[in-house]
Amino acid sequence: MHSHQRSLIHTIILGVIIAAVIVIYMPGLTGPFVFDDWINIVNNDGIAIPQIGAAELRVAALSDVSGSLGRPLASITFALNYYFAGGFSNTFGFKLTNLLIHILNTALVYWFLHLLLKTPTCLKLGTANDTGRQRLIAGVATALWALHPIQLTSVLYVVQRMNSLAAFFMLAGLISYLYGRQQLSENPIRGLAFIWGGLTAGMVLGLTSKEIALLLPFYALVIEWTLFNHEMKRDSRRLFAAYLVPFVIMMVPVLWWLYHHGASLHIVYKLREFSMLERMLTETRVLWFYLGLLALPTTGRLTLFHDDVVISTGLLTPWTTLPAIIGLIASIFVAIWIRNKQPVASFGLLWFLIGHSMESGFIGLELVHEHRNYFPSIGFLFALSIAVITVASKMHMKRMITIAIVFLSVMFAFTTYVRARYWADEHILAEYLVRHHPRSARSHTMLAEALLKNATYNPLAAINHYHIAALLAPSNPSYLIRLVNIADLTKAQTNFNNIPLDIPLAVDRSSDQRPILRLQKNGNDAHLSIDKSVFSEIERRLSTEPLSGQTQSALAKLTECAVEHPDQCDQIQPRLVEWIKRALTNPRTNDSLRKALWMQLARLQIEQGDINDALESAQRSRKIDPFNASLAIMEANVRLLAGQKDAASDILSWLAVRPLNPSQREQVAALNQMLKAAP
């Protein structure tokens, strides 16, 4: 077959897969921002660039705080989306960019798998000893990967562009590695150049989007050990040189991070409801859960939030923990044992385990997220496709396997399409999440917030869902704080006249069945009165339980309410300062939260006229992070209010040479005007 005919066939295969990908994801491209999209994108002032310039892009690149090493490239793409969309009100451009990255990754996956099938081991086993079989296997595995419903959160969940963008560079790096590896024996210099260039560039560029790119050399080692295993001895010296450079480069950011942040490995668990040991035990069950989702992805099991997962507190609590550990250890030994007889199966198992070694290991991340399977699923689905096609071919069941492949691809595509339709509307998505995961506190909070939007405004129902969330997450104070905030902002009208004064909400598990809200009337107006037990529980949680960014965000909204709407937030104003102080003295509060809380406290103290206390709070906040421009702006503001012009001028001079986002520049300009006008 001529080269142009082969190219045409490859193009047709990829074209069909990509067309299917576009069709199934189109319904969700106008859907809402969700969960971490808000803190990383919408509420991140650095993303909202007014123009495209070097200074603006630099601010955007440095604006991300979700990654240990920063994720500048992903942040820049979010900023460009904001600029061309004219704001955050239209999500289409953001999600379309994610879809385009997924399409590019689909093409790279097909290319990558096609190269894998040309490795010596695959050719020797007869797995794909002709180009037709290679195209079939690569096409089937790529289609299953691209259409699989577990990939949806890497496409429609905007912030997970960090994940898919890192995957793009990792795939490109591995393709270069494979080209170099196959030339290493005959042309060592050219081979080493491709290996070094691919693994190094793929890792470094991938790191600009997410830290998972550090695993790239290990993925290459899995390929080497399983699919090039018969050539390893012959090329041992060259292989040492090939891997030395990427591994040395990989160690640079790792050692840098350990030096600067290594001590924080255990500190992060202060924010979690589980210990490091509990996380490690739980993740053994989570890995089997992921495999179950890859094999049988149903709409009821797939979701945005998996915070309803049961934490393993011991080997038999729950009882599935010990079998999961035994099974995981056994699978590692099996992967090693079958390396020579079943190298492709060994490859699939080890690829999956390496892919989860970072995010399912000892680092104190959240327990479960579907997007973590975006890259690890490639090896699993590749090995599965080869196994099924090979067995069917040997048993002369080609027609049956064709029907099975078509059925599986259609099932994956249809499930993804159904999920994408849910993702088109925030309220519909939230109802879907609660319906399938009623014990997910985050799903209830998402539905609560959707019920506060204009089209579905129902504050009592929103409060009810926040109450359920508070019961499901007994250590999280943010849900009760938000409940109080909504109740305080809700002004009942005359159409509440026929509603009983006691408004029943979610049934508490305790023996105390008092309603947590009452409707108090004053003529034609009324407001919701909060039971004192709610305030007591908030104080307990703020004082003793782990505090996360959710809690800080909830307190920030209350601070905003107290400052901007003091007449509406009359029930919480006297308590808010005390709540923030309790959170500050909580031994489980880390410095990242503490600096934000000190800043909120300073703002409240300014409103109350306590300028000296506000200055002390602002200084404490800035002491934690002296290079933070927002904290410096707050301190300069308080010093001006306190009449300390020289100190304020010094801070403003320092800010003049710092990279600032548009909002910060406006604040600095206003402070400079105040400085000039001050006597």
Average pLDDT (481-494) is 74
Q: In what order do the strands lie in the sheet with 525-530?
A: 491-492, 525-530, 517-522
**Cα end-to-end span (Å), the chain:** 86
Alpha-carbon gap, residue 193 to 28, rounded angstroms: 42
Q: What is the pLDDT of residue 330?
A: 96
- Residue 376 pLDDT exceeds 70: yes
Alpha-carbon gap, residue 138 to 133, rounded angstroms: 8
Q: Which of 509, 166, 175, 597 is nearest to 371 (CA)?
A: 166
Q: What is the pLDDT of residues 184-201, one digit of tens each?
A: 878 888 888 999 999 999
- Residue 508 pLDDT exceeds 90: no
Q: What is the pLDDT of residue 264?
A: 67
Q: Provide DSSP, 399-467.
A: HHHHHHHHHHHHHHHHHHHHHHHHTT-HHHHHHHHHHH-TT-HHHHHHHHHHTTSGGG--HHHHHHHHH
How many angstroms from the chain centroid is the CA of residue 42?
14
Structure tokens at 398: 């080609």
Q: What is the pLDDT of residues 424-465, one digit of tens each?
A: 999 999 999 999 999 999 999 999 999 988 777 888 888 889
Q: Which CATH architecture has domain 590-679?
A: Alpha Horseshoe (1.25)
Tokens 């710092």 correspond to 658
Of 338 and 261, the structure prediction assigns the larger pLDDT to: 338
CATH 1.25.40.10 intervals, the chain: 590-679
Q: What is the pLDDT of residues 567-618, one digit of tens each?
A: 777 667 778 999 999 999 998 888 888 999 999 999 888 888 889 999 999 9
Average pLDDT (614-642) is 91
Q: What is the pLDDT of residues 545-567, one digit of tens each?
A: 988 888 988 898 888 888 887 77
Q: What is the pLDDT of residue 511?
A: 46
pTM over 0.85: yes
